[in-house]
Copies of this chain bind each other. A is one copy, B any other.
């Protein structure tokens, strides 16, 4: 019998690992709780009524069709028995010879009172659809709300976290405001609608050079976002955000993009979890005491140049290649290779015609960066039909100042 490689998670890391093992002399079993791979970088566009879920999610079976040595199973993974080399799933136990844990991360609400309960997070399709429904419901409610005070609370949209997700979300919300007010709610006053970006540190976009991040912040402000640096959220209740400064911000919507930690599945695996609950791995991406277990992506903690590698898709995909390579090497009786990260740069869009990019040491902003962002994201989307439909939706919305998916569906 051929050795069995079990991969937990069909995100950027797990999917890439499965593909990289296409020709390996092994049976590959890929597990995920969903039947689709999600293109998370565009999740904020689902949350702001620009794209449909199916346009950024592709069935795993469709992606890996034709890979003879692969089986996909939609199941929930409950735990890992490292001694017995068994993955415990909701549809029974599954033994492995090699394990690649690519279970990703979940939103970290930092234990702040009310935030996990009443705030929104943006990690999965359902959460994105919930944000879309909620934001549109706030506009509907405001349209026939008599009290000006309540109306401005309904129309205050706060985003916590100044990383790429928070920046892109705030930019998309402020554009949605323009589209909705002009087209669907001509009776509402633009000055009543606020988009507030709360960042605890003194700058946005920590992965970018400070000057570039400042340009991005400036652009957000010109688009109408209230960028609040040094704003530390302490609690959220009764639709009021309380900051450490004592300030209170009435806002019916709080989208939390201010932190992530590794899934509990990963944390449980580490003797001593690293920062954000991630599992410290050897440079070969193996666990120190279990050479047959690899951890990659957001779930793994590895330092490069003295800093922990960021929780980003490129890290996960590159780690997947290395983990797959090391499994092939182990099967061939060869020594493993260490992981080496090649930074592909970073990009964040700030809405119509505006983005910031930092690629190979070069910073650029504005329209050129925006075009690069569009092309990169379109190419990375899986499935030609998705690319076509997303392109049509983007072009339509761009030229007609529209949004495709302004539906409020029951939660």
Q: Specify which chain B residues have a CB less than 8 angstroms from the CB of A183 in the assembled complex.
A: 61-62, 65
Min Cβ gap A173→B in Å is 18
Q: Please tell me if A144 contacts chain B, counting CB pairs below 8 Å.
A: yes
Q: Which stretch, A235-243, A253-261, A384-392, touches the partner chain B?
A: A384-392
Q: Which residues of B contact A229 (CB under 8 A)?
A: none
Is the beta-carbon distance between B74 and A140 smaller than 8 angstroms? yes
Contacts of A61 in B (CB 8 A): 183-185, 406
* Interface status of A125 (Cβ within 8 A of chain B): yes
Q: Which of B73, B143, B385, B406 contacts A59 (CB 8 A)?
A: B406
A387-411 vs B, Cβ < 8 Å mask (1 yes, 0 no): 0110011001000001011111110
Q: How far is the CA of A385 from the CA of B405 in the complex (A)?
A: 11
A144 to chain B: which residues have CB within 8 Å?
73, 91
Q: How far is the CB of A146 from chain B (nearest CB, A)?
A: 10
A407–B36 touching, CB < 8 Å: yes
A166 lies within 8 A of chain B by Cβ: no
How many angstroms from the CA of A186 to the CA of B185 in the assembled complex?
50
Interface status of A164 (Cβ within 8 A of chain B):
no
Closest partner residue, chain B, to A54 (CB atom): B405
Contact B396 A392 (CB under 8 A): no
A184-B62, A388-B392 known; A408-B140 Cβ under 8 A: no
Instruction: List 24 A–B pairs whose Cβ atoms lie within 8 Å, in order of A's numbering.
Output: A35-B140, A35-B408, A36-B406, A36-B407, A36-B408, A52-B52, A52-B53, A52-B54, A54-B404, A54-B407, A59-B184, A59-B407, A61-B406, A65-B183, A73-B143, A73-B144, A74-B408, A91-B141, A91-B144, A129-B409, A385-B396, A385-B404, A389-B389, A392-B392
Contacts of A65 in B (CB 8 A): 183-184
Q: Which of A314-328 contact B (CB under 8 A)?
A: none
Q: Please give the distance in Å from A339's CB to the nearest CB on chain B.
A: 33
Interface residue? A126 (CB, 8 A):
yes
Complex formed: what's the CA distance from A385 to B396 in Å?
Answer: 8
User: Which chain A residues in 36-78 approach chain B with CB under 8 Å?
Assistant: 36, 52-55, 57, 59, 61-62, 65, 73-74
Contact check, A407 vs B57: say whether CB atoms are below 8 A apart: yes
- How far does the alpha carbon of A55 sit from the alpha carbon of B74 in the complex, in Å? 27
Q: How far is the CB of A291 from chain B (nearest CB, A)?
A: 29
Q: Which residues of B have CB within 8 Å of A185? A: 61
Determine how close the nearest CB of chain B comes to the CB of A29; give it in whole angstroms: 10
| Minimum distance in angstroms from A109 CB to a CB of chain B | 20
Residues in B neighbouring A377, C-beta threshold 8 A: none
Is A136 interfacial (CB-CB < 8 Å)? yes
A34 at the interface (CB under 8 A from B): yes
In A1-56, which residues have CB < 8 Å from any B CB? 34-36, 52-55
For the complex with contacts A36-B408, A73-B144, 19 further pairs of A-B residues with Cβ separation under 8 Å are: A34-B408, A52-B53, A52-B55, A53-B409, A54-B407, A57-B407, A59-B406, A61-B183, A61-B184, A62-B183, A65-B184, A91-B141, A91-B144, A126-B409, A129-B409, A385-B393, A385-B396, A388-B392, A392-B392
- Among A91, A141, A144, A392, the one with the most B-chain Cβ atoms within 10 Å of its Cβ is A144
- Closest chain-B Cβ to A69's Cβ sits at a distance in Å of 14
* Measured CA separation A137–B140 after assembly (Å): 34
Please measure, in the bound complex, the distance between the C-alpha atom of A73 and the C-alpha atom of B404, giving whole angstroms.
20
Q: 1/0 per residue A157-200: CB within 8 Å of B?
A: 00000000000000000000000000111000000000000000
* Bound form: Cα–Cα A411–B410 in Å: 11
Could you tell me which residues of chain A, from 113 to 145, have a CB within 8 Å of some CB in chain B?
125-126, 129, 136-137, 140-141, 143-144
Q: Which of A65, A385, A393 has the most CB of B within 10 A?
A: A385
